[in-house]
Amino acid sequence: MDQKELYQAVNTRAREWLGEGYDEKTRNQVRTLLDGPENELIDAFYRDLEFGTGGLRGIMGPGTNRINEYTISMATQGLANYLLKRFSHMESVKLAIAYDCRNNSRLFAQTAANILTANNIDVYLFDDLRPTPVLSFAIRHLKCQAGLVITASHNPKEYNGYKVYWEDGGQIIAPHDINIVAEVKKITNISQVKREAQPSRLKAIGEDIDLAYLSRVKNMSLSPEINEKQKDLKIVFTPIHGAAVYLVPRALEIYGFKNIIKVPEQDVIDGDFPTVVSPNPEESAALRMAIEKAEQSDADLVMGTDPDGDRVGIAVKDLQGRFVLLNGNQAASLLLYYLLKRLEETGGLKGKEYIVKTIVTTELLSDIASRFGVDCYDVLTGFKYIAGLMRANEGTKTFIAGFEESYGYLAGDFVRDKDAVLSCALIAEATAWAMEQGRTPFEMLLDLYTEFGFYKETLTYKVKEGKTGAEEIDAMMEKFRSSPPDSINGSPVMLVNDYLKQKSIDSISQLRQDIDLPKSNVLQFFLKDGTVISLRPSGTEPKIKFYIGVRGELSKKEDFDTVDKQLKEKTEKILKDIGAS
């Protein structure tokens, strides 16, 4: 389809939104798009939003490729149709809904709730914003068949989204994700949506769920006596205007920590995120105000969560006493070592334990797990795959923790998604444990590097907006897939993992082995010098991501800066060689 044909098709589709099924404000917005630049109309209507690794997510505004009341409504009708088919044997179907701080989140949550009740589905709707992990917990606690949360996680303020969860509390995976998409695609007109809400089927939930959840969080503590000794540990916490504003401080308090220092400007719930460019704790600027507060108060630890409270970024003091941000791999390594060490010390390791990490998360986790005799599984990017493995191993093995390099961590199995509330409590406890031994968290990390090797991971990306951008990303992936490099930065490529073709290819012998994971548009290159390079388009953002993992030796802590610089220079050369810099 050429540009002219595409525009004509999009124009026709857009004009359907001028009908009586849409409110006047929406119709006026569509008229403005019809009279405006072609590319803006095309971006708004050229496709329907699809479920990615995090569900339905996009820029808010009118159009089939935007998040609005109507795309939410049609997605919800498709979801309702699937639930009623899948659970037709049940007398009633129950679903829980949560939402975050974003603009329109409460509106979209109420819209979804109304449509679900109109379809004779019982709905538990949180009375105020809640972190995503609390929604995951509520599904199982209330014995729901599904759940959904209105959020765009750490995306910019223009975005919102819609994540669907299954009865196990994890995000939907095959076959349910595919089946729901199929049902949603059948809803081609807003007139197919049932809108006559049944108030009797809607129940508000809140503090009762919080208390049950916090009780489970408290039970995860491994060092209450140390927490008591270190109760005055200075902790700066910021929710970055988001949903963890209440529950993280409460979780820290039940762990015994009394000295919680807040950033008042960022405790304000605001979907415009006025104090940051992006509410993403992966980006250093998002924690700038918290670090400034920590410097002023001589704090020991800084933690910041994203808008829906499932990711956490941390900053600790380095050997010179300066606050430095730890990346997701470093924080995950500290947390895992603490959990396994304390479980070993308290007799909690029985021989059937396991952890899970994504394929782009540091191999240091695998080394740590091996040191304690704990199995380590790799899954595709997306915490839904970690939850899927948890469900598969239920009753036969004991889940310890799951990790994503993108600042997502989970311990215990009462939540089935990354949990920043619990993670904040456990990171604070790990800090107290280290300090009780006369070490800082940074020194604890250096101890890991001297024992297991200095793993340094870097993530960079290229943003490609709109339809044209999506095509450029596809072309880049196809080039690497069809013509993989023989060497990168002078080191031969020994192995290529193509998760789309589900094949692992030995570059020397050309022998191929099957990859026993679902299909995913991811490529990995393993080099002779131990470097691992991963490429994948983001499932939730208009980006292609490049993950670079290099490794060196750290013989003593004092050499950290030197080795770190060497590994950084090596990474920069690799990024330049593959055209990612």
Q: Which residues are catalytic?
A: 153
DSSP string, 245-262: GTHHHHHHHHTT---EEE
Give CA separation, 294 vs 253, 324, 533, in Å. 19, 11, 35
* Distance from the Cα of residue 208 to its chain's centroid: 26
3-state SS class at 481: helix
Angle at 89 between CA 85 and CA 93, to 5 degrees: 70
- Compute the residue count for the chain: 581
DSSP 397: S
DSSP string, 54-119: TBEEEEBSSSTTSBSHHHHHHHHHHHHHHHHHHTTTSS--EEEEEE-SSTTHHHHHHHHHHHHHHT
Question: Residue 159 pairs with which residues in a beta bridge?
Answer: 59
For 114, 220, 361, the CA distances from 223, given in Å and listed in that order, are 45, 9, 27
- 3-state class percentages of the chain: helix first, strand second, coil last, to nearest 5: 40, 20, 35
The answer, yes or no, to whether the previous bond of 175 is cis (omega within 30 of 0) is: yes
User: Are residues 546 and 460 in contact, defined by beta-carbon separation less than 8 angstroms?
Assistant: yes
Task: Report the relative pairing of strands 122-126 and 94-99 from DSSP bridges.
Answer: parallel
Alpha helices by DSSP H, listed for 465-559, are: 466-482
Instruction: Work out the burial of residue 441: count CB atoms within 10 Å of its CB; fewer than 13 is exposed, 13-18 middle, 19 or more buried.
Output: buried
Tokens 């070592």: give the residue: 337
Q: Is 516 helix (H, G, I), strand (E, B) or coil?
A: coil
Q: What are phi and psi of 166, to 5 degrees?
A: -100, 180
